[in-house]
Structure 1
């Protein structure tokens, strides 16, 4: 009986926490809060435990560490900053004008300081957050150092749990992010399977969905790269074996990503021209099975198990291979290369990767102060908007004697993002989440009115908030509101009473944040389109040249591949953001959509050539076509940079007689790239920035 329950407990742990990094993160934070509440309850000062729990929330949103050494350094740094900023609040808050100057100036310089080095972004946000938390729980009759001291205790308790986790598993953060990436790859493959079969009309929606997933997938890959760089700087040579294994996993992810985004032919053409509909259905089935394999691969990373290919994947692969041998298709070359690409993904998952001592490209993003103080710098503009929000919110708080007016400032901090699109979305999500949170929170308070009940609500809402913080902000906003209500019920017994002012403060803070992004140096996306399009074409060109250069190292090749995908993602994000801007500011939205589609298609065709590059033999004619493609891309860049006046007319298309090619199969890739380059050039001729 004991063994049975133990087995079930282990399965429950693995299924609900070990395989769900967000659940594990939320559980760790909740455990820190329970520990704090328990300690201070035993000490006879339970309300101090609530202050510490708020400090734990701030610390959890601040930490960004990947190694024990950096965690120890962060504990000292976060604790020091929390103590200093909280102390200044306690000392200056009785003097409204002086405190207002401190609040506005400190928030401005803290947010800019966070941009000097990217890993300090979280620290900057946490520091501003602790200033606002200190306003909420300000106690004029208490010693000035009491609340700052409790926040330091919060840092120690929470960071201690982080250090324990890192001692037990030094690569926990890296495993979590790698697993997230492979789950996104699985999502991409499942969406791409819908191409088989598909019509031209259906493909637009599928491509739009793929573009959004691709943004997430590439961003996740970049996040892993940053973690690897930071972790690699902390490790000595004796600790490199396991680390290099994870570098290999990341390189594998990039190669799988390249295979996933590659296109060998128009998919509606394949659907129509293949003799057997079973072949098309089989390709879709194979991609879905690869999606399942990617999900399973993610689970194995988290469990630290060896991946085993599923019988369904092997059966589908064998059946489809047999089917392809029996069916000759009109587009046999396209189908063969598409099949080789899909088959290679299966083999990549099944391969046993040995750790490789790979040198990561370390990039140092430190900036100088003088580079930040420019209206052209979007980080500077964001800091100005945020500090303006704080100034307006604090002024309203004092003029109208709003007792909990700090909620206005906190709401502005959370809603005000660096782009109009992100701010607009956060605006609505915050308001909806707050309203729903008030309803749920009051209902729970009536059902569980006791102190024990409020503690349960507090811990549960904290867990749910962190579980959904990165994935569903509306749910996160709901439960941070419930958390606040529980805190006020436990501290003052006034949770329900403060909810109406909280709704009003949330509305005011959200409106202030929205107006700041709307009128203070608004960064409308059409202004960025030209530069991002030029950058995308330049990176596509370099990537294409690296594909044709078979002497290039894998590491350098992947570097150029990442740069091309990064530029493509930035272009896609401009178009995505532009759709949410005011109608009057949606200039060039149609060209933006067309360029995004054409550039992504060009990149997918280059990727298709790239995934087969090691098995292809390029001859003289291939390099002749390559030069024509490079010439076209250069002409596109010239038109974009100088405008139509300074560019000479060129031939509409380039056709090399097929009989002159010794290896006609290479024309499949090069002709697709050539045609897309020509389409991009023609699109560039009809746009005026």
Structure 2
């Protein structure tokens, strides 16, 4: 019982939601305790709101990074408070300031997660300051310092927490990475099932969509490690975390590899158990990744039962048996030739699985000597760099500019409604708009429904708490608990988080003695804010995914071409997972993930604006398959330089040129609307010549690289056809601009 309790506690303290909630609990409890001693009444709510705004601007970081971020956030908060104080007695001037701030803060989203959070928290605090000022400059002068004091207090708690416990956030992200990687391996194993009438295309699509989650987890783990890397030698725990991250990258490349079309393998080995052996090894590797996830989270050694090693031995025996069958067919030239290609792919698959098992087995070991552990920092390096990134968003197709315009106009509409109805709690309309408005239409619709549900539940819970627990001390404890639940759940369970913060606010107003009419006002204002945000996401510069697809598809092809070029360089120089290679590989997977996220969002948009969804789905599936074939080339790299034959060189050069040419056509798709799509015939021609040469009995068998590039070459014409189908005029309503 004690051991189980210890493991559950270890898992909880390393969970990101738990630590966020615990920080909020500590900060709010101290505020209430101090307020209780000081006899605060009207001062309590501004300080609580300052704590909330500061916590909303928090991101995962080291204590030094968090200190810099908190100082920047306090500077932004101070300017927001000063702007409210100067304009609070001129409502429409105040609203103009808020609209400009909303637009400017939205553009900061292009700089990264840290700046998005600070911008969001600053806008929330601006509305909190106006809400607490009650349209009085004198009141604003009293409440603004209290808001800043609450924000500064939470900043102090946050920095101290990051200094005292730097490891749990890293462990949480690495554990989540291996968990989603284990699920990816399970989905990959389903492709190896050698049975008839299997819907491989549906399974490939599920794999492509889940790959986006793996890439997101890889990026989150990298940012968590990067933020804690200093100029000096990293501590042992951080070096171990880096080793686990690099091992996950290697496993991801190997897991995403495809050495042959699975239909051909299923046909060739239909009467053998070889593919079932491969499937079993891959499934066990997925379970091993899940055990690694638990081991990282609980800080315990992973439990190995030895099943993976035995499964690999059984697979090797099955492959040796197939080699014996092929040797017996040596007298029959045609039969032996027909088995040569599947057998070579089977051996490549077996070698890749064995190597993957070795990587997973060493993931919790020490860092490899001499390994390049540098990471690429995507944060702006200077004010000039930040300005260039923001300036690059000043065009009509920028999602951040469109979101900024949409948010500013939504706030103007909400403020106009507040003024027309003379609603004393009307700033809740603006808060709802800010919380639910997202750059994507689908995300906005999902968030506003969750917000409405959570608000209704929170009002019911708050009313019940007030009736059942009239004591001020119990209500204060429930208020603190509500804040902890809000911050612990707001990234994963938004309905619960909204219910918790609504309960918190209701209890806070009751503690101040101003809860009369709050329940109905909160409900109506939330509904009004949701309706305004929903209308704006449809009418004001909507960010329809069909208009983003050509750019994302072009980015997929461009990054895959750069990945192929990096792989070819590795074959000439020998395997080395240095930063340039890992960056090319990561960019290719990031582009693939962006396309899969766009497709998922497209399915949630109105039917009339989706465009040719089937062509987009086919392109996504085929581009992910093409990335799988390229990943197999990366997984096959050897320590020493390898000669590249003429056929492979010709195929690689043609593929590089063709990928870049198709990417350019897709990049210009919006300007070429209505014009015929120009095909890229070079790949099909070279592929045909390559196949004809390989079919000549006297010709040598193509190299593994050449055969793998031929698989890529077979996918490319299909990608081109899907791009042509997408560009063809579609019936139905045109997408809104």
Shift of residue 416 of structure 1?
1.2
In the alignment, is the contact (CA less than 8 A) between 2:554 and 2:664 conserved in 1? Answer: no
Deviates more, 1:597-606 or 1:511-520: 511-520
Deviation at 1:413? 0.6
Q: Which stretch of structure 1 is more off in the superposition, 469-478 or 105-114?
A: 105-114
Return 5+ residue gaps in structure 2 as ranges.
326-338, 729-737
| Bigger Cα displacement from structure 2, 278-287 vs 391-400 | 278-287
Give, in whole Å, the separation in 2 of the partners of 1:135 and 1:316.
65
**How far apart, in 2, do the equivalents of 1:153 and 1:649 lie?**
66
- Summarize the alignment of residues 443-592 of structure 1 with structure 2, pairs less than 5 Å apart: 443-492=464-513, 494=515, 497-549=517-569, 550=571, 551=573, 553-554=576-577, 555-592=579-616
Give 1:509 deviation, angstroms: 0.9
Correspondence 1:234-273 to 2 at 5 A: 235-239=230-234, 243-267=238-262, 269-271=264-266, 273=268
Deviations 1:614-671 (A, max 9, x none): 2776433332333343354355446545764755755565214155334554455233
Shift of 1:474: 2.7
1:681 shift after superposition: 3.1
CA distance in 1, matches of 2:93, 2:317: 79
Q: Which of residues 444, 454, 458 is equivalent to 1:437?
A: 458
The 1-side partners of 2:185 and 2:607 are apart by 34
Check the 8 A contact 1:437/1:478 in 2, yes or no: yes
Quote the residue 1:185 is aligned against: 181
Aligned 8 A contact 1:84 1:148 in 2: no
Q: Does 1:131 align with 2:126?
A: yes
Cα 1:404–1:645 change in 2 (3 A) is closer
Deviates more, 1:179-188 or 1:364-373: 364-373
Structure 2 equivalent of residue 333 of structure 1: 344
- 1:12-47 CA-partner distances (Å, limit 9, x unpaired): 4213222x2222222222222122222222333266
1:210 pairs with 2:207: yes
Higher relative contact order structure (alpha carbons within 8 Å, sequence separation ≥ 6): 2
Shift of 1:423: 1.5
Deviation at 1:604, TM superposition (A): 0.9
CA RMSD of aligned residues (A): 3.2
Q: What are the superposed Cα offsets for residues 420-468 of structure 1, whole Å, 9 maximum, x if unpaired?
A: 2221222222223323333444344444343333234323332332232
**Contact residue 635 and residue 647 of structure 1 kept, 8 A:** no
**Deviation, structure 1 residue 599:** 0.7
Contact 2:58 2:114 in 1 (8 A): no
Distance 2:680 2:18 in 1: 59
> Which position in structure 1 is the counterpart of 2:52?
57
How many Å separate the matches in 2 of 1:436 and 1:670?
Answer: 57
State the number of aligned residues. Answer: 681
1:673 aligned onto 2:712: yes
Please report how far the alpha carbon of residue 228 of structure 1 lies from its aligned counterpart in structure 2 after TM superposition: 4.3
Distance in 2 (CA, whole Å) between partners of 1:200 and 1:46 is 70
| CA-to-aligned-CA distance 1:372-395 (integer Å, 9 cap, x gap) | 444343322211111111111111
Give CA deviations for 1:377-419 in whole Å, capped at 9, x if unaligned: 3322211111111111111101111121111111111111112
Mean CA deviation greater in 279-288 or 557-566: 279-288
Structure 1: gaps spanning 5 or more residues: none
Contact kept? 1:37, 1:50, Cα under 8 Å: no
Residue equivalent to 1:354:
367
1:251 to partner: Cα distance: 2.5
Contact 1:469 1:476 in 2 (8 A): yes
Deviation of 1:253 after TM superposition, in Å, equals 2.1
Distance 1:101 1:429 in 2: 29
d(CA) in 2 for partners of 1:305, 1:158: 33
Conserved in 2, the CA contact under 8 Å of 1:411 and 1:509? Answer: yes
1:561 to partner: Cα distance? 1.0
- CA drift of 1:602 comes to 0.5
Distance 1:346 1:648, change over 3 A: closer
Q: Aligned-pair distance for 1:143?
A: 5.2
2:694 aligns with 657
1:627 correspondence with 2:653:
yes
**Which TM-score applies when normalising by structure 2?**
0.84
